[in-house]
Amino acid sequence: MEVDLSKITLRPFKLEDADDFLLCAGDDQVTNNLRWRTLSSKQEALDHIKDVCIPHPWRRSICIDNCSIGFISIFPFSGEEDRFKANIGYGVAVKYWGHGIATKAVKMAVPQFFADFPDVVRLEALIDAQNLGSQRVVEKTGFQKEGMLRKYAYMKGKLRDMFIYSFLSTDLPANP
């Protein structure tokens, strides 16, 4: 399969994306490293889009030819003291892995997010120590690896070592 990366776009989710969203969020391979429960029906996909994706502070569908093949989620921390920080997560349908799509999408998302949330100073990504593909995505998009947090949290029932990466608003290239 050939993928033309110039055709990758980001946009908010719509209810019409439910079938495509299920291909991604209904797949254990994609959700293994995410906190959300794998979805198992079109109804659940519709509910998730309505209750989570659409009201979300910053979630975008990763699209090829306007068809949803993945998502990027950036979540500012809650609480007065933590609003300057946010966390990024993303997933791409398995059949589209290996083409640099997540890297392209994250590269597009980061400056858009900082423009939308000017109070956020630090964007962080917590990535399972064994998830090499995702580590490569953040490294190629300019996140800085800060260290490994040993036995940091449970995900899907397993205690995980996680690399912590950050991208600061000051890391953005200066405007020409």
Partner 1 sequence: MEATSVVQLDQTKAKDECLNLSLRPLQVSDVDDFMVWASDEKVTRFCTWEPYTNKEDGLNYIKNTVVPHPWFRAICVDDRPVGAISVSANSGNDKCRGELGYVLASKYWGKGIVTRAVKMVVDTIFVEWPHLERLEALVDVENVGSQRVLEKAGFQREGVLRKYFILKGRSRDMVMFSLLSTDYQS
Supply the angle between the helices 101-116 and 132-140 in degrees, to the nearest 10: 50
SS3 track for the chain: CCCCHHHEEEECCCHHHHHHHHHHHCCHHHHCCCCCCCCCCHHHHHHHHHHHHCCCCCEEEEEECCEEEEEEEEEECCCHHHCCEEEEEEEECHHHCCCCHHHHHHHHHHHHHHHHCCCCCEEEEEEECCCHHHHHHHHHCCCEEEEEEEEEEEECCEEEEEEEEEEEHHHCCCCC
Q: In whole angstroms, how close is the CB of 166 to partner 1 at the nearest point? A: 5
Of residues 9 and 166, the one with the C-beta less far from partner 1: 166
Q: In whole angstroms, how close is the CB of 79 to partner 1 at the nearest point? A: 11
Task: Tell which positions 27-46 bind partner 1, by CB under 8 A.
Answer: 35
Could you report how far apart the first and last alpha carbons of the chain are, in Å?
36
Of residues 157 and 176, the one with the C-beta less far from partner 1: 157
Task: Tell which positions 104-163 bind partner 1, by CB under 8 A.
Answer: 121-122, 124, 144, 146-155, 159
Of residues 13 and 167, the one with the C-beta less far from partner 1: 167
Of residues 52 and 164, the one with the C-beta less far from partner 1: 164
Q: In whole angstroms, how close is the CB of 115 to partner 1 at the nearest point? A: 18
Q: In whole angstroms, how close is the CB of 52 to partner 1 at the nearest point? A: 17
According to the binding rule CB under 8 A, does residue 81 interact with partner 1? Answer: yes
According to the binding rule CB under 8 A, does residue 66 interact with partner 1? Answer: no
According to the binding rule CB under 8 A, does residue 75 interact with partner 1? Answer: no
Chain positions contacting partner 1, by CB under 8 A: 35, 81, 84-85, 121-122, 124, 144, 146-155, 159, 164, 166, 168
